[in-house]
Amino acid sequence: MRVVIGADHGGYVLKQELAKYLEATGHEVVDAGAHSLEPLDDYPDFAKAVADGVASKDAQRGIMICGSGVGASVAANKIKGVRA
């Protein structure tokens, strides 16, 4: 399965570990960022990238990790065809 995954600074470390696990179990991972640990990055940018990947059918699933998950789900839900 192709999975798009993203995180802000609050979920960066977990995203890196989860991506390794997904790849080890045979999934194709598309990393939507963050690509480095930046304390000032913001979850809406990454949530939109993950949601766009799912909405465009570039990936079958999307995973977005942030501090609480609430803001990321609100941001992702703004993309037509996506429910987080």
The residues spanned by each domain of the chain are 2-76
84 residues of the chain, pLDDT tens digit each: 999 999 999 999 999 999 999 999 999 999 999 999 999 999 999 999 999 999 999 999 999 999 999 999 999 999 999 999
The DSSP string of the chain is -EEEEEE-TTTHHHHHHHHHHHHHTT-EEEE-S--S--TT--HHHHHHHHHHHHHTTS-SEEEEE-SSSHHHHHHHTTSTT---
pTM of the model: 0.93
Q: Which two tokens stand for residue 47?
A: 């949530």
Contacts of 24 (CB under 8 A, 6+ apart): none
Q: What class has domain 2-76?
A: alpha beta
32 residue type, one letter: A
